[in-house]
Amino acid sequence: MSYEPYVLYYGSNFFNRAKKVYSIGMLDKPFGKILKKYGENSTFLNREQASQLLDSFSRQSSMTVSNSQIMKNLLEVLFLPSSLLYSYFKKLSFAEAQELDDLTVMEFMGSQTKPFKLTPLLIYMWFLIPKSEEGYTHSINLMKRIRDDVGVPPVDKEEWDDLKPLIEKFSRALPVRGSAENLWEKL
């Protein structure tokens, strides 16, 4: 079993329901609050710390060449000012990162305007970086638990279809496992 990094998308409906389930307020760090509810010990990482962590991951000798390249690409694409994704998304926001003993989770939000709509379409992403086989298993179990506790599909068919152009652009810029598909269906 491989413990490569992967992306899970979720939409506004899931996020709105999660805010109720986990009592997430406007000033809360959403993923941190979810982890706290489950008794998980994690450390909040700001944008600079998350960037440094990706850089250190990309330099680890224990990481495969492809995973190391993914980390370098992610660092360049998401954290450098000249980011390719800025032109794709127009808006890409780093929300937060949480480091656990055996995995790191980074959360991003992308938006895209839709013709004849006043509000943009929003897509949220969890980028999961397991540090070991145990971290990979832990990440899968944690994501399943969150999905089940929230009680609505993370991305419904309509959201996925609406956001498909945005997701396709992201997956071309950063070909990470799950970046071009709804990986929730395989969990």
Please report the pLDDT score of residue 84 as a whole number.
45
Please report the pLDDT score of residue 2 as a whole number.
62
Each residue's pLDDT tens digit, 70-83 = 556 565 555 554 44
In the chain, what percentage of residues exceed pLDDT 90?
44
186, part of any domain = no
Please report the pLDDT score of residue 128 as a whole number.
94
| Concatenated DSSP letters of the chain | -----EEEEEEHHHHHHHHHHTT--TTS-HHHHHHHHTT---EEE-HHHHHHHHHHHHH-TTS-HHHHHHHHHHIIIIISTT-HHHHHHSEEEEEEEEE-SSEEEEEEEEEE--TT-SS-EEEEEEEEEESSHHHHHHHHHHHHHHHHHH-S-SS-HHHHHHHHHHHHHHHHHS--BTTTS-GGGG-
pLDDT tops 70 at residue 16: yes
Containing structural domain, residue 92: 6-180
**Which pLDDT band, with edges at 50, 70 and 90, does 168 fall under?**
confident
What mean pLDDT, rounded, does the chain reach?
82
1, part of any domain = no
Structurally, the chain folds into a number of domains equal to 1
91, part of any domain = yes
53, part of any domain = yes
42, part of any domain = yes
pLDDT tops 50 at residue 135: yes
